[in-house]
Amino acid sequence: MAAPLQVVRPAYPAEPLLRARGVTLEYRTGERAVRATQEVDFDVFGGDRFVLLGPSGCGKSSLLKAVGGFIQPAAGEITLAGQRVTKPGPDRIAVFQEFDQLPPWKTVLQNVMFPLLASKSCGRAEAKERARHWIARVGLDRFENAYPHTLSGGMKQRVAIARALAMQPAVLLMDEPFAALDALTRRTMQEELTRLWEESPFTLLFVTHSIEEALVVGNRILLLSPHPGRVRAELNSHQFGLHSGGSTEFQDAAQRIHRLLFGEAPAVPAEAMIERAAL
Ligand SMILES: Nc1ncnc2c1ncn2[C@@H]1O[C@H](COP(=O)(O)OP(=O)(O)OP(=O)(O)O)[C@@H](O)[C@H]1O
């Protein structure tokens, strides 16, 4: 019989690295306020590949922006290593979906070096060394001197990943980084990301609206309800990987998540949903 999707209450001994408590996010435009999320709680531990999963408009990107320090919660708080997040910082680096996130006038090497120099994380010689290391890690060593417009979408995303990891952030933030790629390249990039993590684990906060991608990339998944996003459930997905796609367990888990996200389940507090999910 297929193993049921486990519900997470991991026995982590340590304090979470990243903690969101009661995070309500709002956008104000004139008189109107759009509520993006409602009292969202989650904990991300060091080395987690934590996925925010939910339908379009449920506030996933807004949560990522709040963790990045680009927007402030209307209520609740986010802490990183015990410190309240109030502004952006070099300890949180983001990779976005858009291919134009790389300045086109800089070569691959210059692009990867740039944040290291701009943040004064290190001197020029070390920046160059670190950049070359990470460019090689994403398999682009032959393209150090290439300009972004000469690269494919997947290669540009690799540069963006190298640039982010070269900064050695406490948390790598990824907002649908592979969504604009064709299906085959998307799959390859999921593999590359997993390989990079396996070689030297980092902490990842990853936004997607693809259930399959969440199961492949994540070890823990936070399910958010439709707009405004509330926590529906939190699930453990570490048992799935790149090669689980066709398995019965994977298909069952995907269907179960679909039901949790879009089923008739009434909106109930997260803890209650977690208990339900354990059944
Ligand atoms: N700058 C903004 N000004 C006003 N409202 C915004 C702004 N950004 C997002 N919103 C609103 O906040 C809500 C959440 O948006 P957000 O982009 O965070 O959702 P999402 O889950 O990432 O969606 P998608 O998967 O489509 O990217 C939506 O209703 C959206 O219209």
CB 176 within 8 A of CB 209: yes
Clarify whether residues 163 and 178 are in a common domain. no
3-state helix, strand, coil in the chain (%, to 5): 40, 25, 40
Total domain count for the chain? 2
Q: Which of 168, 183, 208 is the last residue of a domain?
A: 168
Tokens for 257, please give them: 């998540």
Q: Which of 134, 168, 202 is the last residue of a domain?
A: 168
Label residue 53 left, alpha or beta by phi (over 0 means left) and psi (-120 to 50 means alpha): beta
- Identify the residue whose C-alpha is closest to ligand 1 atom 24: 56
Greatest CA separation found in the chain?
58
CB 51 within 8 A of CB 65: no
Q: What confidence score (pLDDT) does residue 86 get?
A: 96
Query: Which of 255, 237, 239 has the alpha carbon at shortest distance from 50?
Result: 237
The pLDDT tens digits for 157-189 are 999 999 999 999 999 999 999 999 999 999 999
Q: Is the pLDDT assigned to residue 253 strictly greater than 70?
A: yes
Clarify whether residues 39 and 163 are in a common domain. no
Clarify whether residues 276 and 173 are in a common domain. yes
Cα 58 to averaged position of ligand 1 atoms, centre (Å): 7
Clarify whether residues 175 and 194 are in a common domain. yes
Clarify whether residues 78 and 108 are in a common domain. no
The 3-state DSSP class for residue 19 equals strand
Q: Which of 23, 28, 29, 34 to mutate to test the pocket of ligand 1 (most atoms within 8 A of CB)?
A: 34
Place of tokens 């956008």: 27
Tokens for 277, please give them: 């999910």
Cα 130 to averaged position of ligand 1 atoms, centre (Å): 35
The 3-state DSSP class for residue 29 equals strand
Q: Which of 28, 61, 97 to mutate to test the pocket of ligand 1 (most atoms within 8 A of CB)?
A: 61
Domain that holds residue 229: 1-91+169-279
Contacts of 71 (CB under 8 A, 6+ apart): 25, 62, 65
Clarify whether residues 158 and 228 are in a common domain. no
Clarify whether residues 164 and 175 are in a common domain. no
145 CB neighbour count, 10 Å cutoff? 9
What ipTM did this prediction achieve? 0.97
Clarify whether residues 122 and 180 are in a common domain. no
Clarify whether residues 203 and 153 are in a common domain. no
Peptide bond preceding 228 in cis form (omega within 30 of 0): yes
Q: Which of 115, 138, 168 is the last residue of a domain?
A: 168
Clarify whether residues 277 and 194 are in a common domain. yes
Q: Is the pLDDT assigned to residue 265 strictly greater than 50?
A: no
Residues at CB less than 6 angstroms from ligand 1: 27, 29, 34, 36, 54, 56-62, 209, 227
Cα 91 to averaged position of ligand 1 atoms, centre (Å): 24
Clarify whether residues 116 and 250 are in a common domain. no
Cα 212 to averaged position of ligand 1 atoms, centre (Å): 22
Clarify whether residues 217 and 175 are in a common domain. yes
Banded model confidence at residue 1, pLDDT cuts 50, 70, 90: very low
Banded model confidence at residue 267, pLDDT cuts 50, 70, 90: very low
The pLDDT tens digits for 114-149 are 999 999 999 999 999 999 999 999 999 999 999 999
Question: pTM of the full predicted structure?
Answer: 0.89
- Mean pLDDT for the chain overall: 89
